[in-house]
Structure 1
């Protein structure tokens, strides 16, 4: 079986099969639904059950970068990249801080876009616009990351039989067709398919990779200690500080992704949401930790890869594992499609959230307030297509490795955390200080990133900006007292009967 490989006709057939399945799901999900209704299109009517909600949350947290990008980062960084496991755990912890409480308010008030909470809680137009701008930036960055991962994943997993550019264009078209047809429902159902394929596939990938190195992970670590001791050494203080800082920044930032917040809105009930998050708490050990070990094993299977070549490490290992026997070959087909489907499913989630913000918060609120929901949804769909077309141009020459792109968006998106987390619990938080804190934090974080300034002992610029953001927000709110521009009633309070109904729906 040593001649087995995904390159050539077999790789094209596998990709084609997954594309057909995703298109079929989009067609089926769109049947009998009201795609012109914003709530139906963007939130699946707020009726996602446990299985669909769990897998769509899973797909949101574990993007193509989590598989295609994290293993190469472990390959390059060594054991210090174990930080990827606790920062995924931190995301779940952050969800639990605010998601159930936000869900009750969102259900009661009929929220559709993430900014609906900000508008409801603070009653400030300028704060809502700033939140929308930062969300669009984060979503565009996230989409770019997925397009890059899509091309690299397809090229690596097919041995470059399908070129980077061709793979991106083909699956972008597939994504646009099924998401246009079925909206959130189609996205959630494709997430179920790719999640199952991914969980099974990466488990077999790890088993096969260990088989190729004799099943001795301790031997792999010992060999790495001899050939590249820095990768197994105790991290320096600055590295440890950076590790802890990234756990905080990514834990807070990933939890307030716009498409993650929309999944909170889309849950069928509060109980369904809590059950999904409880199971999600185990996924870092079953996904990120497995990918980390695969990257470490890759140092022995493919030593000496350059940074660019290491970006295709997962595909290279998958081809080697596929050559063991027929069973591994079939399992790598599952992984092969699962990785590509995971990337596409993550991209479609970001695209759907991007479209909703453009259609509801920009077009529907400020450009054409009298437009029907049907027209708003159409404008959102067209805006998504235009955004993808622009990002495709950037994807041809991606700015840095996947991990660098990944970090860049968190510098700004994490600035949204105070209005969602602090705003849910602190009634005194005022709109004015929240606006100026978020603006200052975003400008500082962006400026430090653009200038390449990293002189904070391992603390990323995003957290420096967040500290300034929170300071201005808290001190300013204490100084101005009860906000004059906010609602007179407590925005978190609910009539007992209605709150109870929202919790038990």
Structure 2
């Protein structure tokens, strides 16, 4: 770590530059607007995001710390079997297209603000609503923790430890809280445009620089791995393949119902804009996750022999080696790594905004003070977001696991909301009680397996086993105890795209 080439003032200058831009965007996004008086204005940008802002806010949210800082080290440790990361990022887009346009039409008509607005509207069940709120807040809390850890690691790696992990986390969390407080979703979306552009361009330059380090010949990389670490290039075992498919289901179904992603669906200015944004997102897995995977594989040859803890710093170490090639790569890497930090923050701010919206609208507004004004709900959400960040910072101070382990953990419970969310859109016979008990039993099974140390059973994740049980209870329960004719007719109306409610 002594030969890091942009450890020091240049990295600090770039990070300060990004921080100033984000604060300026937050200020101008909220200036002269009544964002703080309206839940949809503050949390959904007035439901008026155009195709550029919507695409980049989806992109910068999905491809962030867990993609750049976390996925390359996983490729380094795992080898070629980690090519699965491309497939589960792709399936997320397919799942979105399965339900997003239909949900958008209903949400526009009913003025939904949070994901559980849809579940409350569909099932009219306090039990379903409360349980789904808990599971989604659990997922958001884990995801936010992941981003806080990634912020500290990225800043520390970029500056070679000049800015310590803990100081980096605190400084940029304060920046995030300030610009999000000022501009809400609009500030988040506009910062995402800047961060998404930097991320896209930087990944390509990073790849070219990494290839330069190995003489531009990826074949030599595979030869090196086959000679020095053949397990990473071998045909995956049956259990690894099963695990691959399991992770595909876990991430594909879980990430598609991220609360902050659902709220971006609500924020679109039109259904056409939403479909066009997702069509462009379909190209991003190979152009982002795929390139990060290749960088991680190249790292096996460039920086061999890293242990699990050391590999978590791989991206920073590789970026510094690329930066040492010449002045062009130096400045692009400095800008890119600053952009990585900004992109991680762009995911964290989205998660925090969604977390606070669910506290203000779902917990406070629905159960604690239903008569509260929208302005008061917004203020409660802001305050709860700050408290949540303080609590998670305490955990992130000494991160308990690698980024990948944190990444998987959040899906185990979040994915249990999927049957209620998606089946409820299309299957009119689905009823509230089977939905509740399906979610509950699926979450218990997934949670127990995680607690006792069985994250997978024969390669299958506990969350996927819980999801299977969840769907079984939902389907069998709804068939055994069918809805009344009146309830079925009401469900038909609730999910119709044509009938005015």
Please indicate the TM-score interval, normalised by the length of the shorter structure: over 0.9
The match for 1:492 is: 495
Q: Distance in 1 between matches of 2:136 and 2:414?
A: 7
Question: 1:3, 1:323 within 8 Å by CA — same for their partners in 2?
Answer: no
The match for 1:314 is: 315
Q: Distance in 1 between matches of 2:87 and 2:355?
A: 28
Normalized against structure 2, the TM-score is what?
A: 0.97
Q: How does 1:434-473 map to 2 (within 5 A)?
A: 434-454=435-455, 456-473=457-474
The match for 1:503 is: none
Question: 2:322, 2:329 within 8 Å by CA — same for their partners in 1?
Answer: yes
Question: 1:124, 1:486 within 8 Å by CA — same for their partners in 2?
Answer: no
Shift of 1:204: 0.3
The match for 1:76 is: 77
Q: How does 1:146-295 map to 2 (within 5 A)?
A: 146-295=147-296
Q: Any idea what the Cα deviations from partners look like across 1:299-348, whole Å, max 9, x if unmatched?
A: 11111111111111111111111111121112112211110011100000
Question: 1:122, 1:486 within 8 Å by CA — same for their partners in 2?
Answer: no
Question: 1:30, 1:182 within 8 Å by CA — same for their partners in 2?
Answer: yes
Q: How many residues align?
A: 497
Question: 1:424, 1:492 within 8 Å by CA — same for their partners in 2?
Answer: yes
Moved more, 33-42 or 194-203: 33-42
Structure 2 unaligned spans of 5+: none
Q: Any idea what the Cα deviations from partners look like across 1:44-88, whole Å, max 9, x if unmatched?
A: 010000000001111221121110000000000000111100000
Shift of 1:489: 5.0
Q: Any idea what the Cα deviations from partners look like across 1:195-245, whole Å, max 9, x if unmatched?
A: 000010011001001001100101001101100000000000000010011
The match for 1:431 is: 432
Q: Distance in 2 between matches of 1:192 and 1:312?
A: 27
Q: Distance in 1 between matches of 2:489 and 2:206?
A: 54
SS in 2 for 1:389: helix
The match for 1:101 is: 102
Q: Distance in 2 between matches of 1:377 and 1:120?
A: 21
Question: 2:122, 2:491 within 8 Å by CA — same for their partners in 1?
Answer: no
The match for 1:88 is: 89
Q: Distance in 2 between matches of 1:64 and 1:486?
A: 44
Q: Any idea what the Cα deviations from partners look like across 1:119-141, whole Å, max 9, x if unmatched?
A: 11111111011100111111010
SS in 1 for 2:220: helix
Q: How does 1:400-415 map to 2 (within 5 A)?
A: 400-415=401-416
Q: Distance in 2 between matches of 1:116 and 1:60?
A: 22
Normalized against structure 1, the TM-score is what?
A: 0.96
SS in 2 for 1:118: helix
Q: 1:75 to 1:485 in 2, by over 3 A?
A: same
The match for 2:386 is: 385
Q: Distance in 2 between matches of 1:101 and 1:316?
A: 45
Q: Distance in 2 between matches of 1:226 and 1:489?
A: 61
Shift of 1:493: 1.4
Question: 2:246, 2:464 within 8 Å by CA — same for their partners in 1?
Answer: yes
Q: 1:117 to 1:169 in 2, by over 3 A?
A: same
Question: 1:75, 1:299 within 8 Å by CA — same for their partners in 2?
Answer: yes
Shift of 1:485: 7.3
> Quick check: 1:6 aligned with 2:9?
no
Shift of 1:35: 2.1
Question: 1:431, 1:486 within 8 Å by CA — same for their partners in 2?
Answer: no
